[in-house]
A and B are shown apart, each in its own frame.
Chain A
Amino acid sequence: QVTLRESGPALVKPTQTLTLTCTFSGFSFTIPGMCVSWIRQSQGKALEWLGLIDWKSEEHLRPSLGTRVTISRDTSKQQVVLRMTNMDPADTGTYFCVRSFAVGISCYASSFDSWGQGALVTVSS
C-alpha cells in the first residue's frame, strides 16, 4: 500500500524558509520512472504544482518560483524534502506530497496516483 505523509511547521514568519518533509512507503526511487511532486492549494485558488524530484534524482521546478524552491530526497529514509525561501503570506496554503510515474523519460506528462493528506502552512508574523 502506497502512503505519503507531509510533516513540518504549521506556522512560519514572512521571509523565513519553509522546510516540509514527505515520508513515503510502499514504493521506492529505485524503480525507474518514480516521481514525487509537491503541489499546494491556497485558499480559493486552483492547485499549483511546485516541482518534483525523479528516480534519477533530477529536480524539476516551476519556473515562476525562480530559485525559491529546492526539492531533495533521502533514499535511505524514504523522504523527499521541500524547501521554500522568503515565505510570504501569499504562500499560505495546504502543501501536498504526490506520487506519479514517468511517461517515457518525463515525469511531466502524467497524472498523480497517490497523494498525502496535506500539511497546512500559514505564513504570518
Chain B
Amino acid sequence: AIRMTQSPSSLFTVIGDRVTITCRASQVIRTSLAWYQHKPGKGPELLIYDASTLQNGVPSRFSGSGSGTEFTLTIDSLHSEDFATYFCQQYYEFPTTFGQGTRLEIK
C-alpha cells in the first residue's frame, strides 16, 4: 500500500499566521490527493480534492498544491476555528491510504 507521510505531526501557531502542512507519498500518485479537517467529536470534513480543488463551502484561505509525490496544504491567516487536525488521503491506488495527521494547536 502507498504510504503517506505528513509533516509536521503537530504545529503550535497563532491566529493570523500562515500555515503550511506537507504530505509525501511513497510513490507517484499524480494529483489523486485530498485534504481533510478533523475536530474532536465530529466527522472529518473534506477541504480539498484532486490536490488543489477547493470543496464547495470551504473558505478560500485554504489552498492545496502539488503533484507526483509531494503536496502541501496552506492556510492563509489562521482563524480560531481552524485549530484542528488535518490529514491527507491518496486515492490513486487501491486501497486508499491516509497520512497520520497534523495537529494545529494554539501557541
Contacts and interface: CB of A to CB of B under 8 A. Distances in A.
A46 B95 contact: no
B41 A117 contact: yes
Contacts, number: 54
A46 B43 contact: no
Q: How large is the interface on B (under 10, 10 to 19, 20 to 34, 35 or more residues)?
A: 20 to 34
Nearest to A109: B91
A34 to B, nearest CB: 16
Interface residues of A, number: 21
A108 B94 contact: yes
Contacts of B98: 46-49
A38 interface: no
Interface in A23-46: 45-46
A42 B92 CA distance: 23
B34 to A, nearest CB: 4
Interface of A: 4, 45-49, 62-63, 96, 98, 108-118
